[in-house]
Structure 1
């Protein structure tokens, strides 16, 4: 039986990927952070649980033994600590590559981010792009997937922050009127796309965007969120000149764990990639996250 290792497998997307891979007849091992005492309660029964930190290569040496394919999900999305994205997302991915090479694992699926396509990268985007480069240079049988905004199944840190923000008060402010276009993706569709990409030989050496079936503006997304919650809040457009001077924006939207730069990036840049290659190669056919 094929054996897969999922780094970050105790997270929301990771545990759903555990179930998806098991349903496809794959034996699953999950890498969780040392000290994560709740990891065993979050993953499905029957999944092997091991501990290690991708930013500490020494903790990975025995974890990759006997594995056929690695699904590298472990990453941090939000941080204001200098160097943290580089340490975990970039160097962590280099360590995963090295661990694959040393253990003789040929197949590697790397979960990147659509933010690597933004015209100006945040530190988070830079770290994920550096991870992509490490994967491409690895000499392994690699595949890269770039999820867009994730919705559903309790996941989607960015979406959940946005939903809380627009739902909190009767009036909410959107930078530039919330005109940036997005293709949000359901968590269940993302997980199926990740599994297919990591198990499909024809996906080797390819990079896929995993997005939803259609685009919508941030303002339209807010309306859909509020409609689903039975709320009728009023949006006020905030000029970009004001937004760029308001470091407080991070507090409104993401709290102290997100920088103002990162909070603004999602409102500034479109993320509407084509999913044609994923549809063709992976049988990827997502549904709208906001369908009734």
Structure 2
């Protein structure tokens, strides 16, 4: 079997390559031209260069491929239309090229943010991607990761890394909504195994799975765990939502330039603690808890 991983030079992509190689799968990756991270891919991986927003540039990578794991996407941007062009349009191109190459299976790595009651531009683009995949005519599986945490903390998922930097930055930090929002963060190692299994399990075809950790935590609890591990005793000040939305400066504290205020606050506003029983039963998914108290 030959599996192609788009966005394979990213943190999750490289780990997925290692997981698939360990399962005796032949692995190709599609990475952006000039991406220096391609030099850190595991030995034995075949590298193709192309941009998912340019269908012609990626066709060669799909020739002879049995299984595609589509990870290529952007999580953060303030550029108008970037999410639509790369996440939605890029997925549409991947679907069309995969069909033309007679790929047998497609796994789409979406996001739990598509379940939020009000979608950010990022969430809208990932939901559009899901629609292209479901209507592709290809055997498909969709996975929706929650908040990704790597070990040691601060080396993995972009969103969690921003949260860590925020609560560690000042002796006093504001918590929108009082930190009551519930999350089910996932260890990056568990996430990668879940993604791999989604493409290798026959019963996963036509299904959508949330890939989350074992433990449900509030944002306030996560902040406490981060500070405890860092040996810090910072003080949290609960901030009502109406004030959080008014304080444009909060955007720069939480996310900085690459993030819109809407996206910076969405993670504090909406729960992301999905049920994972179908992933456990269908995939043999057995996640742990990424944070210790």
Normalising by structure 1, what TM-score?
Answer: 0.98
Q: How far off its partner does 1:291 sit?
A: 3.5
Residue 40 of structure 1: how far off its partner (Å): 2.9
Q: 1:98: which partner in 2?
A: 96
Query: Which of residues 113, 135, 138 in structure 2 aligns to 1:137?
Result: 135
Is 1:80 the counterpart of 2:78? The answer is: yes
Which residue does the alignment assign to 1:121? 119
Offset at residue 45 of structure 1 (A): 1.3
Q: Where do 5+ consecutive residues of structure 1 fail to align?
A: none
Confirm or deny: 8 A CA contact 2:92 2:129 kept in the other structure: yes
- Measured after TM superposition, the shift of residue 97 of structure 1 is 0.1
How many angstroms apart in 1 are the aligned matches of 2:253 and 2:66? 44
Could you tell me which residue of structure 2 aligns to residue 210 of structure 1?
211
Give the distance between the partners of 1:73 and 1:40, measured in 2 at CA: 15
Preserved contact between residue 144 and residue 211 of structure 2 (Cα < 8 Å): yes
Alignment of 1:136-155 (within 5 A): 136-153=134-151, 154-155=155-156
Aligned pairs for 1:165-244 (under 5 A) are 165-244=166-245
CA distance, structure 2, for counterparts of residue 186 and residue 242 of structure 1? 32
Q: d(CA) in 2 for partners of 1:116 and 1:42?
A: 31
CA distance in 2, matches of 1:257, 1:123: 13
Partner SS, residue 257 of structure 1: coil
Distance 1:246 1:121 in 2: 21
List structure 1 runs of 4+ shifted beyond 4 angstroms. Answer: none
Task: Please state how far the C-alpha of 1:241 moved relative to its aligned partner.
Answer: 1.0
**TM-score of the two chains, using structure 2 as the length reference:** 0.98
- State the distance in 2 between where 1:254 and 1:146 align: 22
**Aligned alpha-carbon RMSD (Å):** 0.9
* Distance in structure 2 (CA, Å) of the matches to 1:282 and 1:291: 26
Count of equivalent residues: 290
Instruction: State the match for 1:64 in structure 2.
Output: 62
Partner of 1:276: 277
SS at match of 1:231: coil
Contact 2:225 2:292 in 1 (8 A): no
Aligned to 1:156: 157
CA distance in 2, matches of 1:147, 1:7: 16
- Aligned partners of 1:155, 1:100: CA distance in 2, in Å? 29
Q: Deviations over 1:198-238 (max 9, x none)?
A: 11111000000000111010010000000011111000011
1:245-284 equivalences under 5 Å are 245-284=246-285
1:60 offset after TM fit, Å? Answer: 1.2
Could you tell me how far 1:39 is from its partner in structure 2? 2.8
TM-superposed CA distance for 1:136, in Å, is 0.1
* Contact residue 107 and residue 142 of structure 2 kept, 8 A: yes
Distance 2:207 2:169 in 1: 41
Q: Which residue of 2 aligns with 1:54?
A: 52
Q: Distance in 1 between matches of 2:50 and 2:235?
A: 46
SS, match of residue 244 in structure 1: helix
- Measured in 2, the distance between the counterparts of 1:178 and 1:54 equals 37
Stretches of structure 2 lacking an aligned partner (at least 5 in a row): none
